[in-house]
């Protein structure tokens, strides 16, 4: 019985690590994308003077 619990907890921990990795990757991509969009909107709002 205890061995089953240990296996279950191990699987859950691996799953959680996996989801955290995906979440961090998604968050980083979202922040990069948001910064790019922000720069783009800034350029549109006030076009660079040549």
DSSP secondary structure of 1-50: -HHHHHHHHHHHHHHHHHHHHHHHHHHHHHHHHHHHHHHHHHHHHSPPP-
In this prediction, residue 48 carries a pLDDT of 63
pLDDT of 33 > 90? The answer is yes
Record the tokens describing residue 49, joined without a space: 């003077």
Check: pTM over 0.85? Answer yes or no: no
User: What is the pLDDT averaged over residues 17-46?
Assistant: 89
Task: Tell me what the mean pLDDT of segment 12-40 comes to.
Answer: 91
The tens digit of pLDDT for each residue in 15-26 reads 988 899 999 999
| Biggest CA pair distance of the chain | 74
Q: What count of other Cβ atoms lies within 10 Å of the Cβ of residue 12?
A: 10
- How far from chain centre, in Å, is Cα 23? 4
């Amino acid at each position: 019985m205890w061995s089953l619990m240990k296996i279950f907890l191990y699987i859950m921990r691996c799953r959680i690590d996996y989801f955290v990795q995906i979440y961090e990757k998604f968050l980083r991509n979202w922040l990069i994308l948001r910064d790019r969009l922000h720069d783009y909107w800034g350029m549109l709002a006030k076009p660079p003077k040549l």
